[in-house]
Amino acid sequence: MARRAQRGFTLIELMVVLAIVVVLTLTLATMSATGGEASPRAGAEQVTEFLQIARLRAEGNRQRHRVEIKNSTIEIQEAVDAAVKPVLGFANPIGYRVVQSMTVPGGVVIWNADLTVANSAGGANPAQNAALTANIDFKPDGSVELPTAGATGATIYITDPQQMSKYRIFIFKVTGNSMARENW
């Protein structure tokens, strides 16, 4: 008995194609909504994770680490002596060398950094610092050393170019922990 040639598609084939189209449509819809750029929330989470990496490096290597924050990059630097060898413990270093860096994602602006913890529930509106350079030093015990006497931590302000979504990151002096919160 001869087999008939198949005409059309099976129900399973149609359902698979439909599922692929739905996934692609949802992916493109979310990308076009943000223009393919990161949101300030995602940027704040990335910066927070990067700060945690610096703290863990300081504790794990038992040496000072500096996080240098600029408008478009953030670097983790380790303490070195005059011979550019790592300085262990709490001794003051001669300098720092870059061990890891991160480019701030597109669609995210590091607006400013304050080496004190801003403790407002919203309403703070710091001026934009277009030439931002702020240093946060993690000591070997994971705590943070700040240049401002009596400061309890630092605050990093992150937004989008239109300032529609604002986030701030707290870095606490005693523990070195950091956390992101919505609004300034």
Q: What is the pLDDT of residue 137?
A: 92
71 in any annotated domain: yes
More confident residue, 49 or 38: 49
77 in any annotated domain: yes
67 in any annotated domain: yes
50 in any annotated domain: yes
**Residue 50 sits in which domain range?**
40-182
Which of 160, 60, 28 has the alpha carbon at shortest distance from 78? Answer: 60
34 in any annotated domain: no
Q: For residue 151, is pLDDT > 90? A: no
Q: For 87-94, what is the mean pLDDT? A: 83
56 in any annotated domain: yes
Q: What is the pLDDT of residues 114-132, one digit of tens each?
A: 887 755 555 568 889 989 9
pLDDT grade for 166, boundaries at 50, 70 and 90: very high
5 in any annotated domain: no
pLDDT grade for 47, boundaries at 50, 70 and 90: very high
Cβ pair 157, 36 in contact under 8 A: no
60 in any annotated domain: yes
Q: What is the average pLDDT value for the chain, to the nearest integer?
A: 85
Supply the CATH number for residue 144's domain. Answer: 3.55.40.10
**pTM exceeds 0.85 for this model:** no
Query: Structurally, how many domains does the chain consist of?
Result: 1
d(CA 155, CA 115): 6
Q: What is the pLDDT of residue 170?
A: 92
Beta-carbon count within 10 A of 40 CB: 24
Q: What is the pLDDT of residue 149?
A: 76
Cβ pair 39, 107 in contact under 8 A: yes
Q: What is the pLDDT of residue 49?
A: 92
